[in-house]
Structure 1
Amino acid sequence: MLDHLRPPRADDPTRALYKEWLHVNVFDHASGTVGLVNLSLHGDPAAAPSRAVGVALVRVPGAGWSGGTQVQGAAAAHAGVLELAAGDVAVAVAPWFGAGHAAARAAVADADVSLGGPAVGPPLGPSWDVPFGEGHLGWAAYPRLALDGVVRAAGRRLVVRGAGGYADHNWGRWAWGDDVGWDWGCFHGADGLLVVMSRTTDRAHRVTGDALVTVEHAGRVAQFVGPQVDIAVDGVRHPSRRFPGAMAALHADRARDRLPARVRVRVGDGFDGLEVVLDVDDVAQLLLAEPSRPGFAVLHESVGRFRAVGRLAGRPVEAHGLGVVEHAG
């Protein structure tokens, strides 16, 4: 079954809690640049308070973050089968028969991103549809893309050819501000190793659900879940940039949120095993308001370089690359 957007029906009693978004990451190993483009819908699409939020963030080594957010009424959004566009941000994913294509376009503040390319690895999903807050959270991922295009950020113009890419689709029903959150990460190796991890949490990230970690290397896919996964953090990083400005000013008490300076993901099932260690270079903070009631959530995007060592299919693995970890709650 093909993935697709899941807008609420007119008779859906939970439509006020509707959430949906499409997301693309780029990992350019040649320059060390990590970027993301995201477009999300929040609330009943027919209600005036509902919002479409576009995000473009690019982190260039030595230059920090470029980009920001673009917030509009949900009525400004245009939707296709698996496409969203609003204002100066658009994301599209076209999966079919285990293959597909993704594209992202955004011009927000001082970041301009235009990327597209084919899926060059298997999709993961729809792999999640779990209870979450007052409703549920669904997730489908397209974790290995080869992206071409142009990224303008920090006064530079970067042409990418075959850069590492990741895309996903989230949907569900919940209220920002409920006692829910998630941890998600994508680690893209310069030599081809790919690791994706995800788990639901409470808002404080003290209580966690079972983690799912997928490892792809040399054509082999291995998945680890629950007690086969250990995620640990160390050190402290604070956000260096906060978006959007109005929400950041309203919640000035969150300016010094403590995020890990190092994230370690260790997996093993008695046959395969891997340890991935991400050293965080920088953190951006996104604040999202709940349109249906008072409440908000904070998403932190932590980017850096990782190293990995382990054994897969009886063969030793040692890799390094770029990664991003998202803490939401």
Structure 2
Amino acid sequence: MTVTEDVLHRTDFLRGSRRSLGETGPYKEWHHFVVHNQGFRLIVNFSLTDRTSPQGTRTVPRVIVLVRHGDYSGTVENFDPKDCEVRTGRVAARLGPCSLELVDGAYELVVEVPAIRLRARLRLVPASTPFVVNNQPLARGSRLSWLFVPRLEAHGHVWVGDTRVSLRAAPAYHDHNWGRFRWGDDFGWVWGSVLPECSSDPWTIVFMCMTDRFRPPRCGVTPQ
């Protein structure tokens, strides 16, 4: 096992809501992947979000997909928890027909989204060191943690309708966010990543800026 693989197994695992342990507040967690290629971009987001109703609080598994191949198309797919396999402590999850898993140091993604006629079989190999930031304050009583891998190399195939896009060492990005907060509270953030067009270029940039109405923006840039 490489050092990077060991770090990812110890830090990029699913945390889960932990309501059974007495934690309160709406929980949110997501694994986010972006893959670039010439004239092509794919975003896949696996998320687990607490939803509260008069009947109580439950976790909603969701996959968000956005693809640009000529035109843009995308969808948000919610799944019944009975059709999902999610275990805390693992870098793995299956939400309906879509899945992610860390296998031999690389992320293996399976994406099946009939609503936009998209399928993908991808293997994303980290090409940079992961970074972890824990328990950053948002609004009062709210915190967010995240991990990001600034640069990966994507291999595999994506089918958009009847067209197949083959990827070999295509630049990619990954982050994993988790915490307890409410959308619409007094906070905001801007997040971006800059990946090179050429795999031989050593530079990758991740940009982050967090703010609220009482404090100036706190920004950071992580070049690698």
TM-score band (shorter)?
0.7 to 0.9
**Structure 2, unpaired ranges of 5+:** 1-6
CA offset digits 1:7-40 (Å, max 9, x no partner): 23312231x4111111111011xx2211111110
Aligned to 2:143: 136
- 1:208 and 1:105 map into 2 onto residues whose CA distance is 41
Aligned match for 1:107, one of 109, 112, 129? 112
Displacement after TM superposition at 1:212 (Å): 1.6
Which of the pair has more CA radius of gyration? 1
In structure 1, distance between residues paired with 2:80 and 2:220: 34
Question: How far apart in 2 are the matches of 1:208 and 1:59?
Answer: 34
Aligned to 1:198: 208
The structure-2 alpha-carbon separation of the partners of 1:171 and 1:115, relative to structure 1 and needing over 3 Å to count, comes to same
CA distance in 1, matches of 2:177, 2:74: 22
Query: Which of 210, 214, 219 is the equivalent residue of 2:222?
Result: 214
**Residue 18 of structure 2 corresponds to residue 13 of structure 1:** no
Residues 101/11 of structure 1: CA separation in 2 closer, same or farther (3 Å cut): same
Contact 1:37 1:104 in 2 (8 A): no
Mapped contact 2:211–2:218 kept (Cα < 8 A): no
- Per-residue CA deviations over 1:98-123 (Å, capped at 9, x if unaligned) read xx311222122222222113212111
1:71 offset after TM fit, Å?
A: 1.0
Deviation of the 1:48 alpha carbon: 5.9
Aligned residue pairs total 204
Asked if residue 169 in structure 1 is aligned to residue 176 in structure 2, the reply is yes
Deviation at 1:128, TM superposition (A): 4.2
Separation (CA, whole Å) in 1 of partners of 2:41 and 2:167: 12
Structure 1 residue 155 displacement after superposition: 4.2
Aligned to 2:97: 88
For residues 241-281 of structure 1, the C-alpha deviation after alignment (integer angstroms, 9 at most, x for no partner) is xxxxxxxxxxxxxxxxxxxxxxxxxxxxxxxxxxxxxxxxx
TM-score by length of 1: 0.56
Residue identity in the other structure for 1:197: F
Mapped contact 2:109–2:122 kept (Cα < 8 A): yes
**Which position in structure 1 is the counterpart of 2:3?**
none
Q: Report if the CA contact (8 A) 1:51-1:74 is conserved.
A: yes
Q: CA deviation at 1:198?
A: 1.4
Label 1:49 to 1:79 Cα distance change in 2 as closer, same or farther (>3 A).
Answer: closer
- With over 3 angstroms needed to count, the CA separation of the structure-2 counterparts of 1:179 and 1:58, relative to structure 1, is same
Does the Cα contact within 8 Å between 1:129 and 1:138 map onto a contact in 2? yes
For 2:107, give the aligned amino acid. Answer: A
| Bigger relative contact order (CA 8 A; separation at least 6) | 2
3-state DSSP class of the match of 1:178? coil
TM-score (norm 2): 0.80
What does 1:146-165 correspond to in 2, within 5 Å?
146-153=153-160, 155-165=162-172
Mark the runs of 5 or more structure 1 residues left unpaired by the alignment: 217-329
CA distance in 2: counterparts of 1:142 and 1:24, whole angstroms: 10
Q: 1:142·1:168 contact (CA, 8 Å) conserved in 2?
A: yes
- Equivalent-residue separation in structure 2 for 1:165 and 1:82 (angstroms): 18
